[in-house]
Each structure stands twice: as C-alpha cells, then as structure tokens.
Amino acid sequence: MTAPLTTKVLVIGYVWPEPRSSAASGHVMQILETFLEQGWDITFSSPAGPGEHKADLGALGIREVAIELNSSSFDDFVSELAPDIVLFDQFMMEEQFGWRVEKQCPNALRVLETSDLQSLRHARHLRLKERLKDAPDDQDFTPLFAPALHEEFELMADSDMAKREIAALYRCDLNLMISDVEIQLLVEQFGLPRNLLHECPLMIDLPQGEHRTFEERAHFLSIGNFRHAPNWDAVLWMKTTIWPLIRARLPHAQLHIYGAYTPPKATALHNPAQGFHVMNWAEDALQVMSDARVCLAPLRFGAGIKGKIVDAMLCGTPSVTTPIGAEAMHGDLPWPGAVACSAQALADQAVQLYQDETLWNQARLAGQTLLAERYRKSVHGPALIDRLQQCMKNLKPLRKANFTGSMLRHHHHKSTQYMSQWIEAKNRNNTDTPAS
C-alpha cells in the first residue's frame, strides 16, 4: 500500500521569526507548530537578514532558505520545491512573490497570514497624531478609541496601504485573521467575501500549575518590542503622564519596561529615582510577567490582538489597558483587569488593582476563563488544518468564485513582473559593469 503524500508547505516571511520579541512572530510559530504536528514538510524562507533573537527553526525540523527580492533564482527554488501550500507572512511578501508562485506553482494554495491589518494600524496612528497636535496627552481619548466600523472605513478607504493590503487579501485563496473585529470590518465595510477569511487567533496551551500569589509579586510591568510603533507610543505616554499619576499615589512603586531592540531614545528614559526602569530585552518574558503584580498596556493605537496581554493571562497577571488593547480579545467575557480611556482613569485602575487583593484575584481568574474560552490551541489548531485541507480539495471552484481576486492578480502580477524583471536586469548590469 502506498503511503500518503506529505503536504509540503513553503512559508515566505517578511522577517525570520523571533517569538520572544514580538507577538506576530509568536503567532507564526504557533502556526508552524500546528503544521509540524500534522507531519507536514515545512520550508521557511525570507529575504531578510537574521535578527538577534531568531528562532532556531532547524532544530524543529524546518528547512531555512534565504531568498532574494527581484531575482529569478526564486523561480527555480519554488519550482523545484513544488509546495502544496504557500503561506505569505504579511501582505508585502504576497506583493513581491505572489506572481512568481502563481507562475511556477499554479496549483499551490496561496494563504496570507496577516497578524493584524497594517492599514488599520497605520490609519489609527495618523488619527492619534492629528489628535495630539493641539491637545495634551493626558486627555480622555474615548472618541479616539471607540469609532464605529464605518468611521474606521472612512479613515482607511483612501489610503494607498489599505488598497494594497486588501488587494493582496483578494489575490490569495485564504487569509488568516487574528481579530474578529477586523473580519467584521473587512466583510461589512470593504465588502470582502467572508469565505476568503479564517479566524486564527493566538493559539495557547492552557497553563498547568499554580500562579504566584498577590503577596509574592511586586511592581508594575510593561513589555513589547520597541520597534513596534504602538509600544513606543505607550512607553512615552506612561513616562510623561500615566506613571507620574501612579507614582503620586504609590511613592515606592516601580515600573519595569522590557522590550527587544531597545533604542537609545528609550534607554534615555530610564530613571530609577522616579521608579521608571527601562530593562531592555527579557530573556524569559513569562518569568518577568509572573513576578509582576500588574501589567500596563496603555496602547493608543494598533490593531490585531495583543500577545503581551495573552502572556499576562498565562501568568495570572491582571492587565490595565485601553479599548485598543482589549479590542477583539474578550468578546462578552469580563476583562482580566481594567480598561480605561484616559491617563487618570488608567492610573486609578492600576493603583486599585495593585492594592486590592480581592479585585486582583477576580481579574486573575477572569484571565483563565478567557484563555480557555477563546485561545485554546486544541480548538483553533484543528480548525486551521481542516480549513486548509478543504481549500486544497476545492481549489478550482474556490478561485472561480473569486473573480475579483483573479482580476487583481492579472493586473498586479503583470505590472509587478515587469518591474521586478527590470530591477533584476538593472542590478545585473550594475554588477557586470567594471569599475572605472
């Protein structure tokens, strides 16, 4: 009897995964682990250089292949590999390599992993900048945090990034969405067909054992990659406004801020006399989260769902955040901590959680319920595999039903192909031209 063929997966990453540096990379690793559990054959490729905290994919049995932008060498590589599934990590990779994949491997299922809608995050960032031009950052940001979906659409609709990103969603056979709010926005406002989207949130193995108790913990904590603009904005808001309000109520309180790729501008904020400690990268993020009594995540813009808050729930650490931080994360379930819209309200809630053991324990337990209800890997992993297999089985009718995607591929791929070939020829000529 012939053994069944192993599904071959090619992942094209914008960067090499660094799961201890960003939630986006953590989500990619969860997807890769789900594929490995199926016995699938995985190759991970990227045009980026390896980062400082790159995951050792080879140790997991995943091949690592460096690829080049605007190079026909990718055509030979992908043709020889002949993957059954190609997963683009971020829409820019679909823009760069989608036409080559379609040309060389037309029967491969093309899947886009979004992590978050970048065009939504970008539009919200612009809105915050406009709001801050003539107003202090200690104001109530309620209007900023709670727009209706049609207002988000109005904010995004004219942007080049939204047009590029949503076109990439159309061009793929399936898109993995981390946020149910973003799915609703795409379907109800942008008119994207629902069958092109699959909800795939962070996938967690539920924690075993007891958490550290209220009395065993101390200090506030904030964590996040400093290269991620929403995290840096949150650090600045804490430094200038939120932390002084907390410190006035708790004169001996300490805030420990951890993040990968700490720039000098962040290090310059370090001030032990104010209890404001910039700690650089955490070797074990879950350990420092478990030591803290309260996690602060005062995000004023962003998209997707927040890995730092899932980590807080895993560690039994209540979190204080904004509606942006809580978006798409808890449905109708109680928040494991507090959600507020102004610096004063965030500070008040943080102080109350820090001092009230009963309230703190209620928040800790709410986090465990939330993890079990919305983030279990044992639920979302099999659902992802089933959806991918159904798409591979019904690929022809799936594509025929997506005429808009076919039309966008036709026009985009032609223009991208000619531009890429022109760049490759130009680079080749520059290399061949001898120095004078």
Rounded to an integer, the average pLDDT of 116-123 is 96
Same topology, domains 8-120+145-203+378-431 and 220-375? Answer is yes
Q: Tell me what pLDDT residue 3 has.
A: 43
Work out the number of other CB atoms within 10 angstroms of the CB of residue 360: 22
- Check pLDDT > 70 for residue 410: yes
Q: Calculate what percentage of the chain has a pLDDT beyond 70.
A: 95
Both tokens of residue 122?
């970008």
Q: Tell me what pLDDT residue 207 has.
A: 83
Residue 362: CA count within 13 A, CB half-sphere: 12
What does the domain layout of the chain look like in residue ranges? 8-120+145-203+378-431, 220-375
Place of tokens 């065993």: 216
| 2 band by pLDDT with thresholds 50, 70 and 90 | very low
Strands 220-223 and 255-258 turn out to be parallel
* CATH 3.40.50.2000 holds for 8-120+145-203+378-431: yes
| 425 band by pLDDT with thresholds 50, 70 and 90 | confident
Count of H-run helices and E-run strands, the chain: 19, 13
Both tokens of residue 132?
């801050």
Q: Tell me what pLDDT residue 416 has.
A: 66
Between CA 57 and CA 64 the distance in angstroms is 7
Cα pseudo-dihedral 149, 299, 325, 183, rounded to 10: 40
| 357 band by pLDDT with thresholds 50, 70 and 90 | very high
Q: Tell me what pLDDT residue 193 has.
A: 97
Cα pseudo-dihedral 221, 222, 225, 227, rounded to 10: -140
Please list, in sequence order, all residues whose beta carbon lies within 8 angstroms of the beta carbon of residue 281, skipping any fewer than 6 positions away.
Answer: 20, 21, 53, 258, 259, 260, 261, 262
Asked which of 8-12, 20-24, 196-200, 253-257 is least confident by mean pLDDT, the reply is 20-24
- Check pLDDT > 50 for residue 1: no
Q: Tell me what pLDDT residue 431 has.
A: 65
Strands 255-258 and 276-280 turn out to be parallel
Instruction: Yes or no: say if 75 and 100 are a contact pair by the CB < 8 Å rule.
Output: yes
Rounded to an integer, the average pLDDT of 264-268 is 95
Q: Tell me what pLDDT residue 140 has.
A: 84
Instruction: Yes or no: say if 220 and 294 are a contact pair by the CB < 8 Å rule.
Output: yes
Rounded to an integer, the average pLDDT of 354-379 is 97
What are the distances in angstroms from CA 319 to CA 24, 299, 323, 340, 426? Answer: 20, 12, 12, 11, 52
CATH architecture of 220-375: 3-Layer(aba) Sandwich (3.40)
Rounded to an integer, the average pLDDT of 118-146 is 89
Q: Tell me what pLDDT residue 224 has.
A: 92
| 6 band by pLDDT with thresholds 50, 70 and 90 | very high
Between CA 53 and CA 258 the distance in angstroms is 14
Comparison of pLDDT for 52 and 8, the residue scoring more: 8
- Check pLDDT > 70 for residue 4: no
- Check pLDDT > 80 for residue 188: yes
Burial label for 278, CB within 10 Å (0-12, 13-18, 19+), is: buried
